[in-house]
Amino acid sequence: MKNKVLVIGSGGREHALAWRLSLSSSVAQVFVAPGNPGCAQEKNVENIAIASDDYDQLIAFAKDNAINLVVVGPEQPLCDGLVDLMTQEGIKCFGPSAKAAQLEGSKVYSKNFLKKYNIPTASYASFTEIDSAINYLTQQNFPIVIKADGLAAGKGVVIAETEEQGIKTIKDMLAGNAFGEAGHRIVIEEFLVGEEASFIVVVDGKNFVPMATSQDHKARDNGDKGPNTGGMGAYSPAPCVTKKVFDKTIEEIIKPTIEGMINEGAPFIGFLYAGLMIDKNNNPKVLEFNVRFGDPETQPIMMRLQSNLDEICLRAIGQNLENFDLSWNKKSSLGVVLAEKGYPGNYAKGSLINGLDFVEKDVKIFHAGTQREGETVVTNGGRVLCVCALADTLKQAQQLAYLGVEKLDWQSKYYRSDIGFKAIEL
């Protein structure tokens, strides 16, 4: 019998996961709660009008519709314990328990964990009191990194260039006005230099399978300048993750993390995403953990995945990933995010999007912040679309993706024109 799958979330990541699941030979039907207009256009994919934080309704839907697999996209439901709730109800739900999700949900938890298990990361200290945080800060070198403890949608990290900026950030966070609950504890950590990469593996509690390598561009503007965002574009593979870096990451980061979580009584099941900083000597350090797939890394990675995604997730839930290999398209993939001007600050909504009927072989338009309005689709979020292309080389994938980017249009469309520049020799 083929699987009925429920994907939770509404972004570009969830569109890409739902699309890839729908192509699996062992999937009959994919539902997405709440999904977006892009998901609804895929064959065998249906949006369900249940919010991603309406846990009772999600559980009821999964039961009523004999769902065989639930895949949770965003971090919030994972940190809230949706996997625990679904598992108690006998529903197969892929992702970490609330306890294991603390790897992302609390920067203090994850830094203490990294230190305890001797996993390479920036040196740090954590604080709840303004005075002791400032006292520590004044004895450090600049720039320095200040992070709110809790989930802050990518906005809880400030790189302070000066003591003055650092003190202001500490006060903003710990006084509780700028970041709410998430900022009542902070981490102050050493500023690392090098090249960032996203290292994502699927874990079954004990065994793991690596996803294809990837990199994203977190800064909003060309040349990796401007404010930090959720991600303005991504590509796979990531040339900076050489065999040597890959092997080191597995031995020094992934294996000790999985073993550490077993030791903590919180075995990790799900997508484990280590955000890495790779220094000039090819040594990777953990910048952060995410306990879910990356957005927009998912989009180019799903363009390349050939194995059945539902099988991977079900094997992980069944603790059966040992000796399991994934199959990848050898081609390269690159995705460019189209955003609303102003993102990640204030931005407009409701602009009519033209060009969505653009069709080209090996180009895929993933929706994120879009909404259907009658016969049309309008903008409804900061990151609106992600145009992905698949080609023999990253350079060709870049050219093909930008061909799509230029066909799409709305008032106040904004995008970076240099996605992939670090990986492509110009």
Q: Which helix (H) or strand (E) holds 386?
A: strand 383-391
The correct pick among 84, 196, 297, 311 for binding ligand GLY (CB under 6 A) is: 297
CB of 46 to ligand AMP, least distance (A): 33
Q: Report the partner that residue 297 touches, choosing among ligand GLY, ligand AMP, none (CB closer than 5 to 8 A by kind).
A: ligand GLY
- Would you say 295 or 310 has its CB closer to ligand GLY? 295
Residue 424 · residue 235 · CB < 8 Å = no
The correct pick among 295, 311, 340, 418 for binding ligand GLY (CB under 6 A) is: 295
Q: Rule CB under 6 A: is residue 290 a binding residue for ligand GLY? A: yes
Could you give the angle at the alpha carbon of 118 between the alpha carbons of 112 and 123, nearest 5°?
60
Beta bridge partners of 305: 328
CA separation for the pair 159, 216 (Å, rounded) = 19
Of residues 230 through 259, those in contact with ligand GLY by CB under 6 A are: 230-231
Per the listing, tokens 């990356």 go with 294
Binding-site size, ligand GLY (CB under 6 A): 7
The correct pick among 149, 189, 195, 216 for binding ligand GLY (CB under 6 A) is: 216
- Would you say 216 or 340 has its CB closer to ligand GLY? 216
Residue 360 · residue 418 · CB < 8 Å = no
Q: Rule CB under 6 A: is residue 294 a binding residue for ligand GLY? A: yes
Q: Report the partner that residue 290 touches, choosing among ligand GLY, ligand AMP, none (CB closer than 5 to 8 A by kind).
A: ligand GLY
Q: Report the partner that residue 216 touches, choosing among ligand AMP, ligand GLY, none (CB closer than 5 to 8 A by kind).
A: ligand GLY
Ordered DSSP codes for 327-379: -B-SSEEEEEEEEETTTTS-----PBPB-TT---TTEEEEESSEEEETTEEEE
Q: Report the partner that residue 167 touches, choosing among ligand GLY, ligand AMP, none (CB closer than 5 to 8 A by kind).
A: none
Tell me the two tokens of residue 420.
Answer: 């992939």
Pairing state between β 157-160 and 186-190: unpaired
Alpha carbon of 389 to those of 39, 156, 305, 401: distances in Å? 18, 31, 13, 5
Tell me the two tokens of residue 163.
Answer: 């003591």
Q: Report the partner that residue 231 touches, choosing among ligand GLY, ligand AMP, none (CB closer than 5 to 8 A by kind).
A: ligand GLY
Spatial CA neighbour of 366 closest among 318, 300, 292: 300
Listed ranges 294-302, 346-354, 395-403, 407-415: which one lies at the site for ligand GLY (CB under 6 A): 294-302
- Would you say 290 or 333 has its CB closer to ligand GLY? 290
- Would you say 20 or 218 has its CB closer to ligand AMP? 218
The residues that touch ligand AMP, with contacts defined as CB under 6 A, are 122, 145, 147, 157, 189-192, 196, 218, 228, 275, 287-288
> How would you classify residue 209: left for phi > 0, otherwise alpha for psi between -120 and 50, otherwise beta?
beta
- State in Å, rounded, how far the first CA of the chain is from the last one: 50
Q: Rule CB under 6 A: is residue 73 a binding residue for ligand GLY? A: no
Q: Rule CB under 6 A: is residue 340 a binding residue for ligand GLY? A: no
Listed ranges 16-24, 27-35, 120-128, 287-295: which one lies at the site for ligand GLY (CB under 6 A): 287-295
CB of 287 to ligand AMP, least distance (A): 5
CB of 317 to ligand GLY, least distance (A): 22
CA separation for the pair 3, 66 (Å, rounded) = 9
Residues in contact with ligand GLY by CB under 6 A are: 216, 230-231, 290, 294-295, 297
